[in-house]
A and B are shown apart, each in its own frame.
Chain A
Amino acid sequence: MNYSTELIKGTLKTIILKLLADNKKMYGYEITQKVKELTLDRIQITEGALYPTLHALEADKLVTTETEYIGKRIRKYYSLSPTGKAQAREKVKELASFMDTMISLLDIKPKMT
């Protein structure tokens, strides 16, 4: 099942912050692949959504960047700042609480797997 754009858009910041919290430093392509891998291809983050969000997080000082030369091209690695680490925890907590509320609101019975 592919999820709607609206659902993913609202959680993109949280996804990125959590991935960076778990993986120290990552570059753009790596983030998209990690999301695909962890969600078994059910969530695919496009470049059009990823990079604007990363740049906004950088402007908010939640992530920091470092560059590395790969031959002639520059690779930008993103990692969490101390504020970003706290924000990642807060965002995940908020999303978990929201999901609990939605489960209760929509009367969804959790799957027993």
Chain B
Amino acid sequence: MQSLNEQQIDFILGDIHARGVRLESLQYDLLDHVCVLIEQQLEKEEDFEQCYEATIRAFYRQELREIEEETIFLLACRNRLTLSRNQFFVLLFTIFIGPFVSYDLVWLVTSGPTAGWNIPLHIWAPTVVYSLFPLLILLVLLLTPERLDPLIPVKSKVLLGIRPFIKIIPHFSKSQVADV
């Protein structure tokens, strides 16, 4: 089997880097894989560059750095709860509104039978106020075009866990990348 020379190996490594793969460990994995495939191909074809282009093209759908994005995503997902943007807001607002709704329910159960089931203003007013604000924010977010939402873009994923507690992955391309 024909082995690639140092110049060709440097060219491949440089190209992998130029295509956006920055993780050194992943670069070595890809370099070795590409080299093995090319060395096999060079037994049939002679043109290295043509052979390289055809080989590297089979590694991705749109761009080679998809592999790195997928790697980073999987590493970030470890020991984390993965939520869609909408799930995240539902959770967030549940945490905000939940105590008030719970307080109302507790009041209903404990004082409802004696007070005639009419919840007094000082009990329900905070619930309404604290429900309206988050719902208003949610409405604004849902109506905001993606390009104007710098915090959590529409298709992003929110990861909850330690270090850091909240991590947002804006360009979630898992389904496109991990094409087995």
Q: A48-B60, A55-B71 are in contact. Are A76 and B180 (CB under 8 A)?
A: no
In the complex, per-residue mask of A5-48: 1 if CB is within 8 Å of any chain B CB, else 0:
10011001000000000000001110000000000000111111
- Size bin of chain A's contact surface: 20 to 34
Q: How far is the CA of A55 from the CA of B33 in the complex (A)?
A: 15
CB distance from A64 to the nearest CB of B (A): 13
CB distance from B66 to the nearest CB of A (A): 6
Q: A28-B33, A29-B33, A73-B32 are in contact. Are A48 and B177 (CB under 8 A)?
A: yes
Q: How far is the CA of A71 from the CA of B2 in the complex (A)?
A: 12
Find the residue from B9, B29, B37, B178 having the highest chain A CB count within 10 A.
B29
Chain B hits for A60, CB < 8 A: 78
Q: Are B180 and A45 in contact (CB under 8 A)?
A: yes
Contact partner of A55 among B6, B25, B60, B177, CB < 8 A? B25
CB distance from A67 to the nearest CB of B (A): 8
Q: Are B179 and A76 in contact (CB under 8 A)?
A: no
Is the CB of B26 closer than 8 A to any CB of chain A? yes
Chain A hits for B31, CB < 8 A: 73-74
Q: Are B32 and A52 in contact (CB under 8 A)?
A: no
- Size bin of chain B's contact surface: 20 to 34
Chain B hits for A44, CB < 8 A: 180
Q: Are B178 and A52 in contact (CB under 8 A)?
A: yes
Q: Are B28 and A76 in contact (CB under 8 A)?
A: yes
Q: Are B9 and A48 in contact (CB under 8 A)?
A: no
Q: Are A76 and B32 in contact (CB under 8 A)?
A: yes
B60 (CB) vs chain A CBs: closest residue: A48
Q: Are A29 and B32 in contact (CB under 8 A)?
A: yes
Is the CB of A106 closer than 8 A to any CB of chain B? no
Q: A48-B70, A51-B71, A72-B6 are in contact. Are A27 and B179 (CB under 8 A)?
A: no
Is the CB of B75 closer than 8 A to any CB of chain A? yes
Contact partner of B59 among A5, A48, A70, A71, CB < 8 A? A48
Chain B hits for A73, CB < 8 A: 9, 13, 28, 31-32, 35
Q: A70-B32, A73-B32, A73-B35 are in contact. Are A46 and B179 (CB under 8 A)?
A: yes
In the complex, per-residue mask of B60-91: 1 if CB is within 8 Å of any chain A CB, else 0:
11000011001101110110000000000000
Q: How far is the CA of A12 from the CA of B61 in the complex (A)?
A: 19
Q: How far is the CA of A29 from the CA of B31 in the complex (A)?
A: 11
Q: How far is the CA of A73 from the CA of B74 in the complex (A)?
A: 26
- A-B contact sample (16 more), CB < 8 A, given A52-B177, A67-B28: A8-B180, A46-B180, A47-B30, A47-B59, A48-B61, A49-B178, A49-B180, A51-B71, A52-B67, A55-B23, A71-B3, A71-B4, A72-B6, A72-B9, A72-B10, A76-B25
Closest 4 CB pairs of A and B: A56-B74, A52-B71, A8-B180, A52-B70
